[in-house]
Amino acid sequence: MRRMLLGCALATGALLTVTACSSDDTLSAYQSDYTGHEPLHVVGYPSTGSLGVVQKAVWLLADGDTDALADLAAEDGSAEETARNWVKTFGKGAEGEVTADFYDEGSTRQTVVLYFATSRQTKEITARLGEDDAWRIVLDEPDPKDASAKPDWAPAEPGGTGSKSTGG
């Protein structure tokens, strides 16, 4: 069921609303997740797939659901440990307002900087197509120090570089 939810995307605010779900059950689960969380603020140009997986990752951070977050991993390896690190470091911040700043074009891979308003933290993540052609998150930071590192190239505020290209 979790992987089916990746087919749904809904951007909030005045930008756009996209729903692309395959069944009423999937849509119902998505709507339940959506109403139970702060809306994700979006800057830049996400693809439907990158937006959906990033939104889901932020919800899972807020819920403290390390297992489901690890299920979003683009590859096997250190996903479980990385998910635990991310939840520990960013989970509280994900419960409040979060802005996702999407960089570059998003046909197969997209760099995203998450801005957690309440905790004043930032986190760079990568969304990409996995082997199953579903959008996934790169979860390869088993060292807590790496997992909590602030991106040194990202602007202090979302949209500060025009969300065109990554600096690193």
User: Is the pLDDT higher at 12 or at 123?
Assistant: 123
Contacts of 151 by beta carbon, 8 Å cutoff, 6+ apart: 113, 122, 123, 124, 168
Report pLDDT digits (tens) over 50-92. 999 999 999 999 999 999 999 999 987 899 999 999 999 999 9
Q: What pLDDT does residue 77 have? A: 87
Taking residues 104-133, report their average pLDDT: 94
Contacts of 143 by beta carbon, 8 Å cutoff, 6+ apart: 85
Q: What's the rounded Cα separation, in Å, for the pair 42 and 76?
A: 28
Considering the entire predicted model, what is its pTM?
A: 0.79
In 10 A of CB 34, how many CB atoms? 16
Triad 65, 55, 97: Cα angle to 5°: 90
Q: How far is CA 147 from CA 22, 89, 110, 131, in A?
A: 34, 8, 18, 24
Label residue 29 by pLDDT band (50, 70, 90). low
Q: What's the rounded Cα separation, in Å, for the pair 82 and 139?
A: 6
Q: What pLDDT does residue 164 have? A: 60
